[in-house]
Amino acid sequence: MTEIPKSHPRYASLVARERVAEGVRKGLTSIQGLIAQGRGECFDYLLGERTTPSAAAATQAAAAMLLLAERPAFSVNGNVAALVPEEMVKLACALAAPLEVNLFHRSEERVKRIADLLRSCGAERVIGENPDATIEGLDHARALATRGGIYDADVVLIPLEDGDRCEALAAMGKKVIAIDLNPLSRTARRANVSIVDNILRAAPNLTAQVRQLSSLQRSDLEGIVRDYDNENVLHRAVQEIKGHLEGQFKD
């Protein structure tokens, strides 16, 4: 990876960019993943490269929903594997949930490389190498799923995902948690909980919230989920972007 001085004003963003580029070189991430990373980087810049109050609210609701789940499962694609493999493993271990490799630009070699990476980071349950089920409504490789994982899950975390898969999972009756920097995306608008934040911040924040809320009574967790309004949170995210931009042009 290119050596980036920590004094650089764009240090965090450039490091993330390098991680995804390195993911391509290692065979984890598709070339198309570079484009997706650039799009997310743009929205993070508009947000002020910070975890906003709306993102914090969504993270709390997501943690409560995951703690209430009977069969949670987490989807991992190439960009997620390049950016936050260790954090995804920590989150999965905190909830005893499986990590399922799922790729749009699928090759068995890439699936194996990602699965091996997650295992090397300490993952206890990694699936996706031998899918045995299909998600209805999808006509590409992301339709592939695994029983005991996403296919049977009641709550699914889909970081950096496509809107059509989010819609298909919701149509199956699953609760869907998305991590998506674009509050206007179909994924963000179709998910039950949308964390509008950079996954580099969102993943560790979510793990911390899971640990913090794990001592609460079930009724308290249910209250957090019941009081959460995803449409309102997305509206707040747009307002936070607007407020950040207006602040850049004040005298």
Q: What is the CATH number of the domain that holds 129?
A: 3.40.50.12640
Mean confidence (pLDDT) of the chain: 92
Does 231 reside within a domain? yes
Does 35 reside within a domain? no
Does 229 reside within a domain? yes
Q: What value does the mean pLDDT take over residues 197-221?
A: 97
Does 166 reside within a domain? yes
DSSP 96: T
Q: What value does the mean pLDDT take over residues 50-79?
A: 97
pTM of the model: 0.92
Does 1 reside within a domain? no
Q: Dump pLDDT digits (tens) for 106-140.
A: 889 999 999 999 999 999 999 999 999 999 888 87
Asked if 64 contacts 12 with a C-beta cutoff of 8 angstroms, the reply is no
Q: Dump pLDDT digits (tens) for 65-115.
A: 999 999 999 999 999 999 999 999 999 999 999 999 998 888 899 999 999
pLDDT for the residue 234: 98
Percent of the chain with pLDDT strictly greater than 90: 72
Does the pLDDT at position 1 exceed 60? no
Q: Dump pLDDT digits (tens) for 130-177.
A: 999 999 888 877 889 999 999 999 999 999 877 889 999 999 999 999
Q: Which stretch, 37-51, 156-170, 183-197, has highest mean pLDDT? A: 183-197
The region of weakest confidence among 9-18, 167-176, 185-194, 239-248 is 9-18
Neighbouring residues of 86: CB distance < 8 A, sequence distance ≥ 6: 121, 122
Q: Please give the tally of structural domains in the chain.
A: 1
Does 44 reside within a domain? no
Q: What value does the mean pLDDT take over residues 33-41?
A: 80
Does 195 reside within a domain? yes
Model confidence at 2, pLDDT cuts 50, 70, 90, reads: low
Contacts 24+ apart (CB under 8 A), 235-239: 236/52, 236/53, 236/54, 236/57, 237/47, 237/52, 237/54, 237/55, 237/183, 237/196, 238/183, 238/184
Give Cα separations from 9 to 14, 38, 200, 211, 250 (angstroms). 9, 17, 17, 32, 21
Does 2 reside within a domain? no
Does the pLDDT at position 251 exceed 60? no
Structural domain of residue 218, as residue ranges? Answer: 53-243
